[in-house]
Amino acid sequence: MNAKDIANFLPRGLSREEAARYVGCSLPAFSDWVRRGILPGPIPRTHVWDRKAIDEALDRASGLSQSELSALEQWKRDRVRKT
């Protein structure tokens, strides 16, 4: 990886501060959004937020995604239907 690639690298796992900056809000607003269920919490047993999970949550909240369920919730629902 060259210096330009490293500068453009966006990790999937984000700290709380990075996640707040990623969604464009302050730390208190980010914590409020997580508390209210607008954004997901950190990956279980970590202090790391999944950038893709944040993207999915924002897509649902803004109406870009037609589904109110996360990809995991949809998979669970479809799996139950098949059994």
pTM: 0.70
d(CA 81, CA 58): 27
Interval 15-25 mean pLDDT: 97
- Give the per-residue pLDDT at 4: 65
- Looking at residues 24-33, what average pLDDT do you find? 98
**Per-residue pLDDT tens digits for 44-63:** 999 999 999 999 999 989 98
For the cut 80, the answer to whether the pLDDT of residue 17 exceeds it is yes
Say what the pLDDT of residue 48 is: 98
Q: Which domains does the chain possess?
A: 11-82 (1.10.1660)
Q: In the predicted model, what is the mean pLDDT of residues 55-83?
A: 78
